Amino acid sequence: MFKSFNTFSYWLSTFCICLLLVSGCKKTETVPDPDMAKSVAGTYTFTTISLASSSQPTTVASGNVAMVRNGTALDKVDLTLSYTTASSSGSSTFSESKTITLQRADNTIDLYDGSTKVGSWVLGTLNLANYPFSTTSVTLTATKQ
């Protein structure tokens, strides 16, 4: 009886050790930060910018994009696009703000104006494509300051 108890005890111990090894080796998953607004908030300087529907050639002399968290929302920002143009008819300054919804797509954060995708953000670089602005649409690339 003592010998069968030792065998049982040996197998029970072996089983428990194996169970601990199997359950103790879990993969840790990286969960992205749900606070997308914190990631994209800041001031951005234009790298490239183009304006659509201009009746005459227009040069953007200066400008920036500011993104600020919308209240306490983790997925909304207030985007303010401001720029000054210079053309043969003089210079003008434009500024407009919109609330933008953020959605994560892998390593990218997509920007939506309502249900329309207007741009994306990747590691400090903002890209807007055909962003409806005032009486025109703007396509730009900007880097976070």
Q: Domain locations in the chain?
A: 36-144
Q: Are 127 and 144 in contact (CB under 8 A)?
A: no
**Position 117 confidence tier, pLDDT thresholds 50, 70, 90:** very high
The Cα–Cα gap between 46 and 48 comes to 5
* pLDDT tens sequence across 85-111: 887 778 889 899 999 999 998 889 999
* pLDDT tens sequence across 23-50: 665 566 665 678 999 999 999 999 888 8
CA angle 71, 75, 77 (to 5 degrees): 55
Cα-to-chain-centroid distance, residue 85: 28
134: which 2 tokens?
């005032």
Q: Which CATH class is domain 36-144?
A: mainly beta
Please measure the distance between the N-terminal and C-terminal CA atoms of the chain and give it in whole angstroms.
78
Q: Are 41 and 67 in contact (CB under 8 A)?
A: yes
pTM value is 0.73
